[in-house]
Amino acid sequence: MGKNQQEFLEMINEYQRVIHSVCRLYTNNTIEHEDLFQEILAQLWVGYQRFNFESKVSTWIYRVALYTSITHIKKVMRSREALNEVNIAQFDSQTDTETDEELLKMAIKKLSESERAFIVLYLDDLSYKEMADILGISESNVGVKLNRIKQKLKTIMT
Partner 1 sequence: MELEELKNKVQKDDIKYSSQELESIFEIKTLSTVQRINRTMLIDALVMTGLTALLVGVTFYLGLKSRYVVSSQIIGAAAILLVHYKIKYRLINVFNPNLSIVQNSERTYKYLKRYCSAYYIIVPLLTVSLGANLYLQLNLDWSTIAVFLVILGMAIITLACTHLIIKIIYSKPISRIKAIIYQFNNIDI
Residues forming contacts to partner 1 in the complex (CB under 8 A) are 1, 5, 8-9, 12-13, 16-17, 20-21, 24, 37-38, 41-43, 45-48, 50-52, 54-55, 60, 63-64, 66-68, 70-72, 97, 100-101, 103-105, 112-115, 117, 119, 122-125, 133-137, 141, 144-145, 148, 150, 153
Q: To the nearest whole angstrom, how small is the minimum distance from the Cβ of residue 86 to partner 1?
A: 18
- Burial-class residue 26 by CB neighbours within 10 Å (0-12, 13-18, 19+): buried
Distance CA 135, CA 31 (A): 27
Distance CA 158, CA 149 (A): 14
Return the closest-CA partner of residue 150 out of 104, 103, 91: 104
Q: To the nearest whole angstrom, how small is the minimum distance from the Cβ of residue 85 to partner 1?
A: 23
Distance CA 60, CA 40 (A): 12
Q: To the nearest whole angstrom, how small is the minimum distance from the Cβ of residue 51 to partner 1?
A: 4
Nearer to partner 1, 82 or 105 (CB): 105
Nearer to partner 1, 1 or 89 (CB): 1
